[in-house]
Amino acid sequence: MKKRNRRLENVVYEFKHNKQAIFAAIYLCVIICVSIFVVFVNIDPDAIDVVHKLEFPSSAHWFGTDDMGRDYFIRVLYGGRVSLLVGVLAMVTSITIGVTVGMMSGYFGGIVDNLLMRLVDVFSSIPWIIMVTVFGLLFKRGLFSIIIVIGLFSWMGIARLVRSEVLSAKEREYVQYARFIGRHPARVMTGHVLPSIFPTIITAATAEIASAIMMESALSFLGIGVAAPMSSWGSLLQGSQQYLQKAPYMAVLPGILIILTVYSFNKLGDVLRVFVEPKITAGEKNE
């Protein structure tokens, strides 16, 4: 008889009955596809056309033009590429650090645990905006450094989460057995512990993308994010600040796209939580 996967069923149920979740999934598919395939559109995002600068939205330029006459709509779409890329790669960085630290801490315990958790305390003692700006100065401004900087300062929550999950996973029989027969700790961790905490990681990852996109936009807005020729949603908003009076439409589109994207990733994370914590949602449904 085929075993029913109740957890998966719960997620599917949640998806079918939650209109916001459906919207989030569709929106994310669309925005990711658009970001990938926008390079095939035959409009150059950097084509300067001074005659038509700061024009209001029209049929030729759907969202008007910016201060150098560049088509704003296409620039926003290209900006989305940068924002999403930063979001995903910063998430990968922070998940990698967080999971490694959390696993080591939970698995080995004792002095290793103590040291690593103090490290987490150090990193969480300073507001991220201060830390990130200080570190942002050290690296040359660019896509790579902003990804590293965001990743370096957002892994603490994940490390704590993973640590507590590992602490309980460590007590399961199959892990105990693997340790008993003398498997190498690295193999026990990757082969037995990691798969059991994987759903937790996925859930944390979706929320992490959302917060990375927010952080990137704030940094770019303060002028310490991605550098000039490249543009993200945050830096487009920074640019539009000067022209707020003349061209308010420039502030609208990137902002709305940030909201929708972050909202959708958060929503997706909520839905995936059903898989990780079935008890919570089972209770919610009955009420």
Residues binding other proteins (CB under 8 A) = 20, 118, 121-122, 125-127, 129-130, 133-135, 137-138, 140, 210, 214, 217-218, 221-224, 234, 237, 240-241, 244-245, 248, 251, 254-255, 258-263, 266-267, 283, 287
Compute the least distance from the CB of residue 271 to other proteins, in Å: 13
Exposed, middle or buried, 223 (CB in 10 Å: 0-12/13-18/19+)? exposed
Nearer to other proteins (CB atom), residue 139 or residue 174: 139
Instruction: Decide: 143 and 85 in contact? Cβ < 8 Å.
Output: yes
Q: How far is the CB of 258 from other proteins (least distance, A)?
A: 6
Q: Which is nearer to other proteins, 108 or 249 (CB)?
A: 249
Report, in Å, the least distance between residue 194 CB and other proteins: 29
Contacts (Cβ under 8 Å, ≥6 apart) of 201: 95, 99, 158, 162
Instruction: Using the minimum distance from each CB to other proteins, give the nearer residue, 43 or 251.
Output: 251
Asked if residues 203 and 267 have their Cβ atoms less than 8 Å apart, the reply is no
Residue 110, Ramachandran bin (φ over 0: left; ψ between -120 and 50: alpha; else beta): left
Which lies closer to other proteins via its Cβ, residue 107 or residue 154? 154
Closest CA to 145 of 238, 23, 230: 230
Task: Kindly tell me which of 78 and 221 has the beta carbon lying closer to other proteins.
Answer: 221
Tell me the H-state helices in 109-155.
110-124, 128-138, 143-152
Q: Least separation, in Å, of the C-beta of 101 and other proteins?
A: 16
Residue 102, amino acid: G
Which C-beta is closer to other proteins: that of 99 or that of 247? 247
Q: How far is the CB of 229 from other proteins (least distance, A)?
A: 19
Supply the minimum distance, in Å, between the C-beta of residue 189 and other proteins: 28
The rounded distance, in Å, linking the Cα atoms of 185 and 180 is 11
